[in-house]
Structures are given as C-alpha cells and as structure tokens.
Amino acid sequence: MANLTQPPPASCKNVSLKTSAIFGLKLRLEDFEQTRLNFRASFRINPSLGLKASVEPPGLIRRIRREKFKTARDKQDEKELFDELKNRFLSFKRNTYLENMEHYKDLAKSQSPKFMVIACADSRVCPSVILGFQPGEAFTIRNVANLVPPFEHGPSETNAALEFAVNTLQVENILVIGHSCCGGIQALMSMQDVSDDSSSFIKSWVRVGRNASISTKAAASGLGFDQQCRHCEKESVNRSLSNLLTYPWIEESVMRGTLSLHGSYYNFIDCTFEKWTLDYMARSIKGSAAIKNQSFWH
C-alpha cells in the first residue's frame, strides 16, 4: 500500500507545473480578451481613432518613406552623371585614342613632358582645357591656391611631384598658374594672423603663402578686400617661383640653363591670360624676384 505522506513522483510535479503554466496563459489570454473588448467599446464611442491610425502613418514611417524616395532619386541622379562620363570616355576612345593609337602606345612605354604645371584645384581652372595640353605634354600637380612650399617646409605631394618631374622626367619648364577669384587666396587674406595655430587644413596649407599676404597688405593697404586678393593672387605666384629656387636640384637646373621657371595668371572672368618668366640672374644680383618675357594673351 502506497505511503500517502510521500511527495508525489517527479512526473506528477511536472504535470502540475505545466498545468499552472497553462492556467497562467489562460489568465493572460482572458486579460487580452478583456482589453480587446474595451478597445472595441472605445472605438464605438470614438471611431476616429481607427481612421487616424490608418490615414496618418507614424512619424518614423513617414521619415523612412521620405529617405527611401530621396535615396532612389539620388541614385538616379548619380547614374545619369556616370552615364554622361561613360559617354565622354567612349567618345574619347573612339575619336582620340583609337585614331592616335601609335602615340598612345608610345606613351604607355614612357613619358617625356616638356612642362610641369602647378595649378589650383579649383574646378574652373583646368590647364589641359585652358592651354590645350595633350596627354604626355604636361606633368601636372594641383593644390589649393597653386602654392609651392619652400624646401624647408617638409614633405608634401607638391614637392614630391617636383622631385620626380625635375630629377626623373627632366622637364624643361615649370609653369605656376594663378587665377581670379581664388578661394584659397581669399582664405589666406582673411586670416587675422597667419602665424596663429589652426585646426583647419585649409588655413594650415594656405599659410605657405604668408609672405605674399604680408607683402600684399603692405603694398595695397588702401585697396578694398577684392582688389587686395587679386593683387595677392599674382604676388603668390611670384613667391612660389622664389620658393622653387629653395630646392637644390631646381636651382642647379636653372643655373645650368636646362630648366626655366614661369608664372602666369588666368582671369576666367574676361578670359585673359598673363605669362612671365623668372629672371634668375637679375634675382641673384638684386636679391629679389625679377621677371622677364612678360606677355598678355587676350
């Protein structure tokens, strides 16, 4: 005969737990049913609740829909931009590359440009478009405000390009191109003190032209800001020409007569171009920049 005082077997205990869980679920379902009935009652009293929920999606959903629409539109614009670039490339290949196949085969083997061009990164100033340079004719470096840092300034992509162009490619001419409405020069001229430390990459870079800024403010203090900037746009070119001579291999090439340094100024407002050449001998005698062979193209 079984001992009634013994605890129930483990299997019975599990059944009891399951039953409790089921009863608990039943209770929760009853609570949910009561809530649903209460909501139905509220809806009968105020039917606009259902209409508002269906007509106005939540703010998050509306924002996601707008972002999806904007993304799709942007992707379409991007596709059209690159489709245009594709057409331009294929036109170049068909009308230029294939028609001058031998020339491009030679360029694939080596390059021997006569010019190194230092121009501004401004999208309105493209040396190949302005001066008609063809592939293989000009080794080009572009930076903000077409500046050349002095040798002691330290490594940069500009003087790395100078080293390669002069020592390896042995270019015969370096042409620095300044231009009108230069944002980099405006940033330089706007600085209160060019020696101040700044976290701005632009200000840190254009500080290379501080001597041009100082001399401009001294010579053109009575002029308006725009006129001062135009003066500095040309003055900075001459300062860059002087800075080029701080590189030993450049000065040596200039002294030997195998390299000439040229400055220029492109005014895209009236489409004019000024060009001049640094007079190295006059500079070495007078101790300041001097120019020769100045011309004005219009």
Q: Is 298 annotated as a binding residue?
A: no
Contact 171, 140 (CB under 8 A): no
120 assigned to a ligand binding site: yes
Q: Tokens for 104?
A: 């491009």
Tokens (6 digits) for 86: 């594709």
Residue 172 burial by CB count (10 A; 0-12/13-18/19+): exposed, middle or buried?
middle
Q: Determine if residue 197 is labeled as part of a ligand binding site.
A: no
- Known binding residue 231? Answer is no
Q: Which residues are annotated as a binding site?
A: 120, 122, 179, 182
Q: Which residues are annotated as a binding site for Zn(2+)?
A: 120, 122, 179, 182
